[in-house]
Amino acid sequence: MSGFSPLDFRLMAMSQFQILALLCQTTAWTISSALNQFLTQQMVTSQALSREVFEAEVEALVEQMQTTTIANMKYIDQLVSLVILNNGIMTALNTNRYLVQNPATSTYYTQHGRYLVGNYSISNTASDSYCDCQLYSDCTFQAGYYNYSIRPGAQQNSEYIPSPPPLFIVPGMMVGCLPHDSMLQSTLECFYNRSCLDLIGISQAIIPLNATVSSRFQVNTTVNTMFEQLFVETWQNSSNFTSYYNACHPKACSYTYTQRGNFLYAMTMLLSLIGGLTTILGIVVPLLVQFVRRLLVKCRGEAIPTIENDPVVPSIEERLLSLIRRIRQLINTFNMFQTSFTTVNLGIQTTRLYIFLTFMGACILFSYSILNVTTISVTIQQPSLDTFEKLYSQYSSTLVCPCTGLSVTYGEIMTVKPDFHQLCSSDFIRDDRWLLYFRFAVVTTASFSFYTGDFRASSGSSLFSLMKTLCETANTTVINAVTVFGATELVNAYPMPRILFENKTTELVQQFQNETQASFLTLFSQISTVIRDNQFYSPISNAAAPLASSDRIQVRLRLRNIYPSGPVCSCAVSSECTRPQGFYCNASACHSISVQPNVTIPGMFLSCTPIDSLLFSTLTCLYNQSCIQFLLDWRLFGIIGKVFPIDPHGANTTALDPDLPSRFLPNSTFEPLVLNMFIENWTSSSNYSTYYTTCNPDSCTYTYDQRYALVAAITVLIAFGIIIFFTSFSQQTRTITVLSPSQTTFSYLQDQQKSSLSCLCSQTSIQQNVFLSISPGLHQVCSSDFVKEQWWGYLWGLDAVTNFLDLQLLSTQFRLLASLCSLVQQSIDNDTSAFLTNKLVTLEAMSFSLFQAQTDSLTAAFIAQTPDKFRRTQSFIYETFRANQLLTIFGTNWQLAYTTAANNYIIGTVPRTSFGNNYSCITSLDSFSRPLYIDANSNTIALPGVVASCLPIDGIRLSTLECFFNSNCILNLTSIASTRSTTIWIAKPLNASTPSNYTSNTLIGSLIDSLFVEDWGIQSNYSSYYASCAPYSCSYKYIDHNTILYIITTILGLYGGLVVILRFVVWYGWRIYRKIMEWIRIAPRLTSTQVVPFQPTIHIG
């Protein structure tokens, strides 16, 4: 493939369209997963929403899901691309880096690709304006067809110059450092045009894109712009208000209106009370008096006295005194029972007893009302925050204030902001100032080269580029996480008091911090593991180097001891190998891995990969201005006069300030900074006032115990009768309320009154770890000897022994298996922690069966989504690496080949085709396998179920564990491996009798996709759920017939009321009628009567 010019469309066209296919496939997969997760979430509303509010809320939720999905996808893609860049991994297309070596010498050089800035029309000659693939991954240039392929040789200016000019330019297509980045900056305009497709040799069977189809993307829109929208033309969102309302299923709707009291109703009830008491006492008291009177007469033998009426007509003059006497007599002779007794005296006595008993009854009721301790319920409408807090301080145990706004987003009530380590805003990161240190402007005709391990070479620049990448990635991670966190809803049926709110928000912020860091570390670990354990080749690392065959015809890469003069440590076995970093002289004798630097830099180290180099290095030098000056002074060591001095901006770099407070020590390694995302601390705040305003309780109700006051007692006395007679005459719907029901009581009520039972939870949002536990059990291989360093170290042997290549490849595959077990465990732990800290929202207490169904649904979604998320991320990382044609040290995907002086001795690359059936590792993203031979010549002895493929990850995925259940197979492997070493290490075979969901011949890829899980160990606890729900009360309704006592009381009340009314209406009505009739009869006579004057007779005598 390196037979094409780096500016030639044909060099990376296939890889670019593999990238395009990968992006389309991954976005479709991601959208599907995001939709599935979105559609399993709960929409919580305290009451039925109107259609307009429902549609607005759904639209907001969908928009938030879209934004989050796009941000997460773009974030992963950018991080993968940047890590590839900063680890200096070389593509087999020889575009970002390429090797140059004359077979006659042992020295090889690494050249970096440099693309001119601009387009062909203005960049057909050498220019000082270029983009270096050592520093940037997005360097691009117009793609064309060229009839030459020569790249600049060793120690030459390595700009890719389009001279001689191309045969033609492919419209819209770009070439660059890597297929991934160049494809993102390309457009698809050529592929809308049949003539353009014919020009680049595309088959007539391939139909061009249709430019007339309606699209939100223009023909010249870049692939990156489309990818940022996940290639989505439209999000066809639809919501069904009817389905929502049916699921909401409100039990009742209530409304209020204001009107004046009903006077007729009040009078009716008052008369019913008076009439009822009169009737009851009128029947009971005479019978009681007669019985007592007769008993006394019988005992004394007396006759029953009688009272004769002898009315006296008073004179006109005595009327006043007579009125007084008549009132006194009326009181003395008041008889309510004239028709009930034969003697007046008995009627009078009965009346007095009746009045006395009535009075005593009233006194008893009054006294009871005064003395009885009664629970008073008070309701406050529209309570303010101050009112609520005052009420809570006094009546916290009984205060109930239902929220009208059931949910509030975290972003409305909380703010979370990280404070990053000063490094991320320092001169070492900001504006690429310190990276100017590594840009050398060469004096005309001067040539020089740095040793690979020299700080001024790629090993130093990659260190600071990684710092910048990780700082930016940490910031992006936090921004995305804060966006998602801010859109998450806090659900409460009742307002929390301030102290509980503050504790809750503190807990949520802490949980957010932990989950954000865990998410970052999981992705970072996955990418690092892919690079480290698949042994991708990075020319800027000392871990591997080209090795020529004895006849100097063939060349391949091999791993080696990173620091022979120190402790023996091979990057094939361990990732913890280090050596000091520093400056090397320019002589060839200094350019050897066995030579220490002429001057070392305090606290800086080289390791197997640039990522490991960063993690093992310390901050020591960066805190010391003298050390920074030391680096500047040694920049021109050995090359004085060959390059220009450093740019003044880089020369004025300021060291970190040791006086600034920090939780990381100045001599700390970078590892704790990376693990903590460079975050010094988190600044968070919460707004209780906003929370309460959003909750907006309509009313607050509280209860307290007290004795009745005088007015209250009189009110109770009057209301007592009204309450008794305020009933209906047919069936009654009774509501029964059980306060603070136990789980047993609730279960009983659920069985008896399931249809009408309502038990509102006091805590409507319950963290799932309260009632759920998850303890996954992994396949036994993840705890076996086969994932221990001793095992793969034993299989690897010595770096110098190079004739057991497949056995060393097997060692790498076992190391990769161990890393996958570790990554799987980390992913499960993070996802389990996030899942268990989610909230289950239930407004009413669930029955055991409903609880079980709900938890089964939640855990089923978790079990499906957790492996899917891991598999999707792993797949995207690996396929991105594969489509970028990144070179592995083992040469399983690409082979190296010497070229001649005509090609400037550039080491060419040839794709592997040794797997049969004309299969090439670059023609498909699918994997193919071959047997893995463990003998010295790698061509005879194969292990059952163990294969190799294009990448080590492909080999381990397509292999099985059947050999490692068999002790004989293991002994055979061990005996062959022992021929290279005097030490024998025998691994214990896997136990075939251990119960497992997987057979011995199950592909390891299937185990990885299932996260090696044998059993998820999920357990639910209904009692814990119910205890957290803790319903204040349970209420249910039932229809009941009236009791005999109730019916009698009601009839008597009705009868007594009618008696009083009729007695008043009939008697006074009759009297009025008589008066009117009498007046009518008398009136005519009065009009005809003559008045004769009185003439007295006078006698005179």
The pLDDT score that the predictor gives to residue 314 is 55
HSE-CB at 1033 with a 13 A cutoff on CA atoms is 9
Give 904 or 1066, the one with higher predicted confidence. 904
pLDDT band per the 50, 70, 90 thresholds, residue 72 = confident
The pLDDT score that the predictor gives to residue 711 is 52
The SS3 of residue 556 is strand
Kindly report the backbone phi and psi dihedral angles of residue 232, in degrees, each rounded to the nearest multiple of 5, phi listed first. Answer: -85, 125
H or E element, residue 686 = strand 679-686
Asked if pLDDT for residue 133 goes beyond 90, the answer is no
The pLDDT score that the predictor gives to residue 307 is 47
The SS3 of residue 536 is strand
The pLDDT score that the predictor gives to residue 321 is 76
Asked if pLDDT for residue 153 goes beyond 70, the answer is no
Give 540 or 914, the one with higher predicted confidence. 540
**273-287, 299-313, 448-462, 801-815: least confident range:** 299-313
Taking alpha carbons only, the member of 676, 668, 453 closest to residue 577 is: 453
Asked if pLDDT for residue 578 goes beyond 80, the answer is yes
The pLDDT score that the predictor gives to residue 1097 is 46
Contact status, residue 118 vs residue 132, Cβ threshold 8 Å: no
Measured between alpha carbons, how far is 946 from 934 in angstroms, rounded to an integer?
10
Q: Can you read off the two tokens belonging to residue 435?
A: 């990276």
Collect all residues with Cβ–Cβ distance below 8 Å to 635 and sequence separation of at least 6: 437, 456, 646
Mean of the pLDDT values across residues 380-404? 89
Contact status, residue 598 vs residue 644, Cβ threshold 8 Å: no
Mean of the pLDDT values across residues 1069-1075? 70
Average pLDDT, the chain: 82
Residues found in the chain? 1101
Measured between alpha carbons, how far is 779 from 996 in angstroms, rounded to an integer?
7
Cα 426 to its chain centre, rounded Å, is 33
Distances in Å between the Cα of 890 and the Cα atoms of 543, 971, 1032, 1071 are 13, 26, 68, 126
Kindly report the backbone phi and psi dihedral angles of residue 655, in degrees, each rounded to the nearest multiple of 5, phi listed first. Answer: -70, 165
The pLDDT score that the predictor gives to residue 1079 is 79
∠350-351-352 over CA atoms, to 5°?
90
Give 81 or 1053, the one with higher predicted confidence. 81
Residue burial 13-47, b: 16+ Cβ < 10 Å; e: rest? bebbebbbebbeebbebbbebbeebeeeeeebbbe
The SS3 of residue 263 is helix
Which of 38-47, 71-80, 308-317 has maximum average pLDDT? 71-80
H or E element, residue 373 = strand 373-381
The pLDDT score that the predictor gives to residue 1094 is 43
Which residues lie across from 844 on neighbouring strands? 760
Mean of the pLDDT values across residues 981-998? 88
Mean of the pLDDT values across residues 416-422? 94
**465-469, 590-594, 640-644: least confident range:** 590-594
Collect all residues with Cβ–Cβ distance below 8 Å to 792 and sequence separation of at least 6: 573, 811, 812, 814, 815, 818
The pLDDT score that the predictor gives to residue 717 is 52
Asked if pLDDT for residue 214 goes beyond 60, the answer is yes
Asked if pLDDT for residue 509 goes beyond 80, the answer is yes
Asked if pLDDT for residue 328 goes beyond 90, the answer is no
Measured between alpha carbons, how far is 668 from 662 in angstroms, rounded to an integer?
11
pLDDT band per the 50, 70, 90 thresholds, residue 235 = confident
The SS3 of residue 374 is strand
Share of the chain above pLDDT 70, in %: 80
Share of the chain above pLDDT 90, in %: 33
Mean of the pLDDT values across residues 305-331? 64
Asked if pLDDT for residue 1001 goes beyond 80, the answer is yes
Give 344 or 757, the one with higher predicted confidence. 757
Measured between alpha carbons, how far is 1029 from 764 in angstroms, rounded to an integer?
7
Which residues lie across from 1019 on neighbouring strands? 773
Mean of the pLDDT values across residues 399-417? 88
Asked if pLDDT for residue 727 goes beyond 50, the answer is no
pLDDT band per the 50, 70, 90 thresholds, residue 685 = very high
